[in-house]
Structure 1
Amino acid sequence: MKIFRMKNCLLGSAFLLLLLLQFSCKSTYELGRKRAHGISDNRLYNQIVDSSLSYKSLWVKRFSAHYESNGKSQNVKGSIKILKDSIIMVQINAPTGILEVARIYITPDSVKIIDRLKKEYLTSDFFFLSEKLNMNVDFYTLQSILTNSIFQLRDLYERQRPFIRNFKGKAIGDKYVFLSDKAAKVERKLRKDKYSRLYRFNYQRFEIDPSLMKITDVIVREFGEEREMVLKYRDFVKLEEQKFPSELVFKVKDSIQSLSCKLKYNKLEIDEDLKFPFKVSNKFKRIYPD
């Protein structure tokens, strides 16, 4: 059977929207108001973990996003629900913002999608979503990205070790930086334009604002795959005594394609008793990916 395909702008936007759960507010915290001082890797890591969003469930009642892919762009609206460590569900609405046109239901081992426009649905494993995102992530890494939490892409490292064994911390001006353990070697080769020698390396970098102890920027480079992912978290606001970004710019590019999305969210609630309905009409046709 043919591979399941929505319109590129619709499906691409839907997956990119999973990369942020934010809350918009008029007043935001300023970044860069405090200089970074010497701190141990353990202490820096623990402070970042302690400042991460504490929640059992998240509900973004409304979001808006501008998505671009290979010269095409689209504006998207919808809503998102997350049950921590269990379910992520995204509803995509028509441009009017009322009629639902697609729904995505994600668990740690599966992905289900309903395309109401084409009256089709798909059921697959999580690898399907990883391919669409163009990054080799699992459910829990995706959840960390969604919630502005620290993470490591385990497939980038030869040895599976705790985060602070694979990363080194630095204080650079008005920010803290966590660099993957071979980042210094990568940066030396980049300065000398020795790109041909980088195919065996990967690179991951976090920038942390000292005044908020929140991640503001993430860079992941897979040189063998010629792939780069960039996350920028901005406009941090107060959310039930916690600090959380209300805007994300997400970009992924490789030698074949490029994706980017700027997201803004409002009307977010924490720890509501949410329902995650996913019922497929018997009139819908099941589509299978390759």
Structure 2
Amino acid sequence: MYKFLKITLGFVLFMFFNCKSAKTISSGDANYNLPTKQLIKENAKQAAVFNTLQSRLKITFTQKGKTQSHTVNFRAKKDEAIWINATFSVIRALVTPEKVSFYNKLDNTYFDGDYKYLSDLLGTTLDFNKVQNLLLGETLYAMNSGDYKASVDEGTYIVQPKNQRDLFEIFFLLNPSNFKVKSQQISQPREFRHLQIDYLSYQDVEKQIIPELIKVIAIEAAEETIVELEMKNVSLNEDLRFPFKIPSGFKEIQL
């Protein structure tokens, strides 16, 4: 479970950064009458469009009744890089489409590798786009209207594959007012695993809809890990740097 905890943090840790006020998105008029094809189109229209993003990211981590909170600098370049830096550069991470890298000055260790471990852990291919989508409030898997069906339950659209697999179940919950993702849930019933990402609120930043509060719940057997993310002072399209160099003498982590 320790490794699962670290990777869940990895999902969360490799992401977000600094500057500008934003307005929390409030619910508008609900529309429950869209066919699946139109619903998926409306969701796609809401995807945030930007080149770079910067924010302060507060991470609250809870497991076995113990909670820790940290605030870090987060930067991202759309489709290219995700960068995170803790105070005094004690921990720094860089995620690209090619690999995941981070180092920790507290114990002089580093990791520099691919997404294979994350993919094996969740039982599905994980890549840069899925990590990016998780943080931006987009579905981890592309919704194709020919393969998905939609229904309404308790005031929320539920979108799921027409044919769910026995070993792997996917559910996307969409807001009927703005068609953004309210929650995405991936289950592996036979493995007693469940990953749930809830988007508790969104914010309007320069006319782009960006997550404000995200709650990640990872369950394996009887153990539950909760990671809450709060994105503050978000700014878009600034000229950003993504410095990263593993210090000499650090010991490589073998996952």
Query: Same fold by TM (over 0.5)?
Result: yes
Cα distance in 1 between the residues matched to 2:241 and 2:118 = 22
Q: 3-state DSSP class of the match of 2:204?
A: strand
Cα distance in 1 between the residues matched to 2:73 and 2:109 = 21
Cα distance in 2 between the residues matched to 1:126 and 1:36 = 38
Assess if the C-alpha contact under 8 Å between 2:16 and 2:83 holds in 1.
no
**Residues 1:102 and 2:91 aligned together:** yes
Q: 1:29 aligns with which of 25, 29, 46?
A: 25
**Residues 1:51 and 2:38 aligned together:** no
**Residues 1:281 and 2:247 aligned together:** yes
Rg comparison, structure with higher value:
1
Q: 3-state DSSP class of the match of 1:216?
A: strand
> What is the 5 A alignment of 1:189-228?
200-228=166-194
Q: 3-state DSSP class of the match of 1:230?
A: strand
Q: 3-state DSSP class of the match of 1:272?
A: coil
The TM-score normalised by the length of structure 2 is 0.85
Cα distance in 2 between the residues matched to 1:168 and 1:174 = 16
Assess if the C-alpha contact under 8 Å between 1:233 and 1:245 holds in 2.
yes
Cα distance in 2 between the residues matched to 1:123 and 1:14 = 13
Unaligned runs of 5+ in 2: none
* % identity of equivalent residues: 19
Unaligned runs of 5+ in 1: 94-98, 154-161, 187-199
Q: 2:109 aligns with which of 103, 120, 141?
A: 120
CA deviations over 1:162-185 (Å, ceiling 9, x no partner)? 6223321123453222112235xx
**Residues 1:249 and 2:202 aligned together:** no
CA deviations over 1:131-167 (Å, ceiling 9, x no partner)? 67787522111111111112328xxxxxxxx622332
Q: 2:83 aligns with which of 86, 89, 104?
A: 89
Q: 1:177 aligns with which of 153, 158, 168?
A: 158
Q: 3-state DSSP class of the match of 2:225?
A: strand
The TM-score normalised by the length of structure 1 is 0.76
Assess if the C-alpha contact under 8 Å between 1:207 and 1:217 holds in 2.
yes
Cα distance in 1 between the residues matched to 2:220 and 2:20 = 31
Assess if the C-alpha contact under 8 Å between 2:5 and 2:225 holds in 1.
no
CA RMSD between the two structures? 3.1
Q: 3-state DSSP class of the match of 1:165?
A: coil
Alpha-carbon distance change, 132 to 257 in structure 1, aligned in 2, over 3 angstroms: farther
CA deviations over 1:30-85 (Å, ceiling 9, x no partner)? 33x5333322222111110011111122111x121210123432111101111112
